[in-house]
């Protein structure tokens, strides 16, 4: 470690919830992740932290796409060149994959990168003037908490929060024993703390009463680096720590959230700062008329954005997507809905019902074919089509309906079967050739 006369004892960089490989609908977000990661690397280059902690959900799925896997490994290698870097597993991460990555990272000498998939304490004796220990608690499924809390399921009594509290007491106690009374104890976890604000994300989180934990006992750590909640925020209560939040807005529920990396400076006191990250392409929402959308999108006004729009009109707009592409060629359309007033259900008055009764089914067919079948206004069905529909409906209720050629086809099939059974050419009535 470089000497820093008069400098702080320790500087920590805290990030989480990269969710590499995530998509917005069918659209890959790798370019947005690339932009945000470059911003994070720039902060790391500028701040020169002594330790970097990633608090879980490195990837978005157990089997991340190869480009996402490569981007994540490359970014972590670059971070590890700046400072020792620790990644704990989140609920979206594959423990098996992270264990493989950890084995590979362990081949480096000196080692600079760790992937932690089970509760443990990492010791760093050369980061500061005093020893440093990081207590790590990756995501623990409710069904596994009894084993991690006590090592003996038969001796465990309590709920998930009780198990996490017992586990925290143990790992923080081990960390404190490792560094002594004068050392620095840090804590990182991928958990939902009761009282944290989940935000308005459209994604499903493992939160709720079954997964809620508490901050009891965490005051024994100088700083608690949390992952799992995507909205950046301070931990509930008096414990010093934060949720770093997701790397980029992952869906429209997160579109108004600022995204940060956390910088923690530990000296005579503990100072927690945030550095804003570039969010990638904005997630733009729109609701209004076609004219209002044109005013917003004209001359590339929505270029470089994801667009989620509801456009209202009296009649269908068949070329709506083409118009948006003409106004803003660089816009990525995530969802585009045309709400048409003339398609809405029209209430039938009692007088109208009394005068003419229920519409005939062939009338309903003609109305549907004219206004709704193709998604745009069209001509009424041909008279021959209407007549065939009427005959088909009439014959659907019993044996008195029109034949529609079925009888002749059945006679031909039966004659062919008889001829085949006799080894003869079929003698089909009405067959001239």
Query: Taking phi first (over 0 means left), then psi (-120 to 50 degrees means alpha), and beta for anything else, what does residue 63 get?
Result: beta
Please report, rounded to a whole number, the percentage of residues in the chain having pLDDT higher than 70: 79
Q: Find out whether 206 and 192 touch, Cβ atoms under 8 Å.
A: yes
Residue 373 has pLDDT above 90, yes or no: no
Residue 183 has pLDDT above 70, yes or no: yes
Residue 357 has pLDDT above 90, yes or no: no
- The closest of 212, 233, 94 to 142, measured between CA atoms, is 212
**pLDDT range class, residue 213, cuts 50, 70, 90:** confident
pLDDT at 40 over 70: yes
Q: Which range is least confidently modeled, 60-64, 319-323, 370-374?
A: 370-374
Average confidence (pLDDT) over 373-378: 49
> Residue 98 pLDDT > 70, yes or no?
yes
pLDDT reported for residue 425: 52
pLDDT of residue 202: 53
């Amino acid at each position: 470690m470089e000497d820093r006369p008069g400098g702080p004892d320790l500087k920590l960089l805290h990030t989480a919830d990269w969710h590499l490989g995530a998509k917005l609908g069918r659209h890959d977000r790798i370019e947005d992740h690339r932009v945000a990661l470059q911003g994070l690397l720039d902060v790391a280059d500028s701040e020169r932290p002594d330790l970097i902690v990633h608090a879980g959900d490195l990837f978005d799925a157990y089997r991340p796409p190869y480009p996402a896997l490569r981007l994540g490994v490359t970014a972590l290698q670059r971070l590890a060149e700046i400072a020792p870097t620790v990644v704990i597993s989140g609920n979206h991460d594959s423990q098996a994959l992270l264990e493989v990555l950890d084995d590979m990272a362990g081949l480096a000498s000196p080692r600079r990168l760790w992937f932690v998939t089970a509760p443990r304490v990492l010791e760093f004796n050369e980061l500061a003037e005093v020893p440093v220990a990081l207590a790590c608690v990756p995501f623990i499924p409710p069904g596994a908490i009894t084993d991690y809390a006590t090592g003996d399921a038969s001796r465990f009594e309590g709920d998930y929060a009780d198990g996490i509290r017992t586990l925290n007491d143990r790992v923080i106690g081990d960390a404190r024993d490792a560094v002594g009374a004068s050392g620095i104890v840090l804590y990182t976890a991928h958990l939902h703390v009761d009282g944290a604000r989940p935000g308005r994300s459209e994604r499903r989180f493992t939160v709720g009463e079954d997964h809620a934990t508490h901050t009891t006992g965490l005051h024994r750590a100088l700083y608690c680096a949390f992952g799992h909640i995507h909205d950046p925020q301070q931990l509930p209560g008096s414990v010093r720590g934060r949720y770093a939040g997701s790397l980029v807005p992952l869906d429209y529920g997160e579109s108004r959230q600022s995204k940060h990396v956390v910088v923690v400076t530990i000296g005579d006191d503990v100072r927690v700062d945030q550095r804003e990250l570039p969010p990638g392409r904005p997630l733009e929402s729109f609701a209004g008329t076609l004219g209002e959308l044109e005013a917003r999108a004209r001359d590339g006004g929505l270029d470089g954005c994801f667009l989620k729009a509801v456009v209202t009109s009296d009649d269908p707009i068949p070329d709506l997507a083409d118009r948006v592409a003409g106004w803003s060629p660089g816009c990525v359309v995530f969802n585009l809905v045309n709400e048409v007033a003339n398609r809405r259900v029209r209430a039938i008055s009692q007088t109208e019902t009394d005068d003419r009764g229920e519409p005939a089914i062939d009338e309903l067919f003609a109305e549907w074919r004219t206004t709704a079948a193709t998604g745009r206004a069209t001509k009424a069905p041909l008279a021959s089509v209407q007549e065939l529909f009427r005959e088909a409906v009439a014959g659907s209720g019993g044996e008195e309906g029109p034949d529609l050629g079925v009888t002749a086809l059945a006679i031909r099939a039966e004659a062919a079967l008889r001829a085949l059974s006799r080894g003869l050419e079929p003698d089909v009535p009405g067959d001239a050739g």
